[in-house]
A and B are shown apart, each in its own frame.
Chain A
Amino acid sequence: MRQTLTSDVRVTKDSGYTIPWHQRRKTRQTIQALIVYALLLPGAIIFLFPLVWMLSTAVKPENQIFLFPPKWIPEPILWSNFWDGWNKFLPFNLFLRNTLIITVNNIFGNLVSSCLAAYGFARLRARGKNIFFMLVLGTMLLPNEVTIIPQYVLFSLLKWNDSWLPLMVPPWFGWPFFIFLLRQFFMNIPHELDEAARLDGASSWRILWNIILPLSKPAIASVVIFAFIGNWNNFLAPLIYIRSLDRQVLAVGLNMFRGQYGQTNFGYMMAVALLVLMPVLIVFFVGQRVFIQGIATSGLKG
C-alpha cells in the first residue's frame, strides 16, 4: 500500500508518469496520508525529545541545569555556551580537523574493502565460502572488552601507539557489519544479469562495477551514513590508542567535559555535543535523498 502512495504523489508532481487509475483514488490517498501522520506524529514528538533537551541544556546558565522540575526555556538564554564550549577549554578546531581526516579515510576504506568482500560472499562461487562467511560473522560476536588488551598490545608492538594508524588502517581491511549488510543487498539482485555479462566475457570486477554497484545505491548510501556516524562518534579506539591531545578526536574531547565528582559542565558539553551532531544530521539528510533516487534507478533497470 505504501508503494501506491509513493507513486501517486510522484504522479501529481510529475505528470510525465501519469497512470490514469491513480487519479480516481485521490481522496482515499489523502485519507491514507492523514492516517500516516496520525500514526507517526505522536511518536515524532517523543523521538524529538533528546534534541530539544540537548538544545535546552546547551543554552542554560550553569545553575539552571539541575532545576527540578526542569525548565525547558531558560532565562536568560545563553547562546554564548556554543562559542565558549568550543573555544575555551579544549582545541576543538583541531579535534574537528582530526576527526574529519580519519572519518573520510575510513568511509572510503570501509566502502572499498567491504564492497569487495560482500561481492565475493554474495555472488562468486567458491569452495569454503560459507566458512569464511561464518568467520566474518564470528568476529562480531565476541565483545571487545576481552580483545581490547591483546589488540592494544599488538598495535603497541607495531609501534602504532599514539598515532592514527590503529584507527585508519583496519577499515581498509573490511568491516564485518558492512560486509554482511552489503552481502544481503547484493544477494537480492537477479543472477541473470551477471550471468549474461559473464557469458559475454565480462570479468568479475566489471560485473561488480557496472551491474552490482549501480543497482545498490540505497545500500551504499546507508553504508556511507553508518560509516560516517560510526567513525565520527567512535570513542573507544581513539580513547585507547591516542594519548596526545593534539591528535585527539571530537568524541573523546566531548567526554573530557566530565568530571569525577560531578564537576561536569553540562551546558558547554551539550552545546558542543549539538555542534558535533550537526554534520551527522547533514550527512543523513543528504544520504536519505539517495534512497529516493534509488527508486528511480532500480525502477528503470529492474
Chain B
Amino acid sequence: MQTIIPSKRRSFSLKQREEIDFYLAIGLWLIGFILFTGGPILASLLFSFTDWTGVNISKAKWVGLANFHQLLFDDKLFWIATRNTFYYSFGSVIFGTLGAFIIALLLNQKLPGSTLLRVIYYLPSIASGVAISILWLWLFNPQSGLINYTLSLVGIKGPMWLGSQQWALPALVLKSLWGIGANMVILLAGLQGIPVPLYEAARIDGASKWSEFRNITVPMLSPVLFFVLVISTIASFQIFTDVRVMTQGGPGTATYVIVYFIYQTAFEYLKMGYSSALAWLLFLIIFILTLLQLWGSRRWVYYESGERT
C-alpha cells in the first residue's frame, strides 16, 4: 500500500472508507443476523436432514436426504400443495399488484375526499382475524352471499366458492385482493417521491399524458414496483392464515398450500425434520423466483442513482 503514488492514494482511501462505512451501516443488521436469525435458519437446515419430532433433539436421527427424497418422489401432497401455491401466488400477485397500482394512481391526487378513500382502501389490510373471516364465509355464501347476489343481478349464477373444489382457490385469490391496501401505500409513497418538475418540464415540451406516464411515472416508480412485486411473491408463497381459518386446505386438497402443510407436519404430526425439509424446498422455490425477478428487473427497473439491481 505504501508504494501507491500519492495522487491515487486519496481516491483509494475514499473508496476504502466507503467500504468501511458500508460495513458500519449494515453492522447492526449483520450482528442481529449472526445473533438472532442466522442460527435458527441454519438449525432448521440441519433439522431437514433428521427425523426430529420437534421435541427431544437427543432422540433425533440423521436421515440424510430421506426427507427430501420422500417429499419429491413419494408424497403426492407436496405436489398438490406446490401447484396450489403457485396458482394462488400467480393470481394474487398479478391482480394484487395491478390493482394496487391503479388505485394508487387514482388516489395520488388531492381530490376532495381522497384522504378518506385512502383510509377506506387501506382498511381491509389491517382488519383481519377470525371474525373477519366469518364475514368472508358469509360473502361467499352461494345462496345469500353478497358476491353471488351481485352476480345474479347481471344474470350469472355464481359458483359454490369455498364449497367447491374448482372455486375455493380462486375465492382465496379474490379475498387476497381485498388486502391490496398495503401495496397501495407503498406505491403511493413511491408516486409522491417523483419530483413534480419532471412533469412540468414534460408538459412544457408538450408531452402527451400517455408519454408522461410511460416515460416519467413508470420508470421513476419502477424500483418501488419491483419491491412490491418481490414482496408480494414472497408473501403469497407463504399464505397460511386464511387457509388455516377459512378452509383448512379443503374441500379435499383444493386449497392445500405449502405453509399449511409445513405447519401441520411440524406441530400436528410432530415431524419437524420433514417439515423443515419442506420449508427448505419452499425456500428454494422462492429463492429461484426472486433471482429471476432480480435478473428480469435489469430490463425494466430504472434507478435514478444509475445503480443496477
Genuine A/B complex: yes
Q: A6-B109, A143-B259, A173-B33 are in contact. Are A116 and B120 (CB under 8 A)?
A: no
A285 CA to B120 CA, complexed, in Å: 11
CB of B192 within 8 A of CB of A136, answer no
In the bound complex, CA of A205 to CA of B21 (Å): 8
Kindly state the separation between the CA atoms of A82 and B286 in the bound complex, as whole angstroms: 43
A176 to chain B, nearest CB (A): 8
Once the chains bind, are A141 and B22 in contact (CB under 8 Å)? no
Q: Is the CB of A222 within 8 A of B186?
A: yes
Q: Check B26–A187 contact: CB distance below 8 A.
A: no
Q: What is the interface of chain B mostly: helix, strand, loop, or mixed?
A: helix
Question: Does residue B32 face the partner (Cβ distance < 8 Å to A)?
Answer: yes
- Residue-by-residue, is B273-306 near A (CB-CB < 8 Å gives 1, otherwise 0)? 0011001101100110010000000000001111
Interface size class of A (residues with CB under 8 A): 35 or more
Report B94 CB to chain A, min CB distance, Å. 18
Please, which residues of chain A bring their CB within 8 A of the CB of B59? none
Q: Which of B70-78, B125-133, B156-164 contacts A (4 or more CB under 8 A)?
A: B125-133
**What is the count of residue pairs linking A and B with beta-carbon distances less than 8 angstroms?**
320
A229 → chain B closest CB, angstroms? 6
How far apart sit A169 and B192, CA to CA, in the bound complex (Å)? 32
Interface 0/1 of A116-133, CB less than 8 Å to B:
110111111111010010
Instruction: Evaluate contact between B131 and A173: CB separation under 8 angstroms.
Output: no
Q: Are A50 and B44 in contact (CB under 8 A)?
A: no
B195-A302 in contact (CB<8A):
yes
Q: Which of B1-9, B165-173, B222-230, B248-256 contacts A (4 or more CB under 8 A)?
A: B222-230
Instruction: Give bound CA distance, A13 to B96, whole Å.
Output: 34
* Interface: A93 (CB within 8 A): no
Please tell me if the beta carbons of A146 and B266 are within 8 angstroms of each other in the complex. Answer: yes
Known interface pairs A47-B123, A191-B306, A294-B192; A3-B22 also in contact (CB < 8 Å): no
A118-B190 Cα distance, complex, nearest whole Å: 16
Q: Which residue of B lies closest to A182 (CB)?
A: B227
Q: From the candidates B36, B131, B188, B198, name the one contacting A266 in the complex (CB within 8 A).
A: B131
Given known pairs A222-B185, A291-B192, the reply for A51 and B18 (CB within 8 Å) is: no
Q: Which of B19, B120, B209, B238 contacts A44 (CB 8 A)?
A: B120
Say whether B14 faces chain A, with CB atoms less than 8 Å apart. yes
Q: Which residues of A contact B124 (CB under 8 A)?
A: 47, 49-50
Question: Interface code A1-31, partner B: CB below 8 Å = 1, 0 otherwise?
Answer: 1111111011000000001000000000000
| A129 engages B196 (CB within 8 Å) | no
Which residue in B30, B111, B181, B234 is a CB contact (below 8 Å) of A141? B234
Bits for A203-216, please: 1 = Cβ < 8 Å to B, else 0.
11100000000011
Answer whether residue A139 sits at the interface, using C-beta atoms and an 8 A cutoff.
yes
A83-91, A94-102, A242-250, A269-277: which lies at the B interface?
A: A269-277
CA distance A8 to B305 in the complex (A): 30
B117 within 8 A of A: yes
- Contact: B199 with A3, CB < 8 Å? yes
On whether the beta carbons of A142 and B35 are closer than 8 Å, the reply is no
Interface string of B16-32 (1 = CB under 8 A from A): 01110111111111111
A65 to chain B, nearest CB (A): 9
Residues of B near A2 (CB, < 8 A) are 105-106, 108-109, 191, 217
Does residue A69 face the partner (Cβ distance < 8 Å to B)?
Answer: yes
Q: Which residues of B contact A148 (CB under 8 A)?
A: 40
Q: A51-B127, A180-B230, A299-B197 are in contact. List 16 more A-B contacts (CB 8 A).
A: A9-B110, A47-B181, A69-B144, A120-B23, A120-B24, A125-B18, A141-B287, A146-B266, A146-B276, A179-B29, A188-B224, A226-B185, A285-B115, A289-B115, A292-B110, A302-B195
25 of the cross-chain contacts (CB-CB < 8 Å) are A1-B209, A4-B199, A5-B109, A6-B109, A7-B199, A9-B110, A37-B111, A44-B117, A113-B32, A120-B23, A122-B305, A129-B22, A143-B279, A149-B272, A154-B36, A170-B36, A172-B28, A173-B32, A187-B223, A187-B303, A190-B304, A273-B129, A277-B127, A285-B115, A294-B189
Which 5 pairs show the lowest CB-CB distances between chains A and B? A173-B32, A302-B195, A120-B25, A174-B29, A126-B22
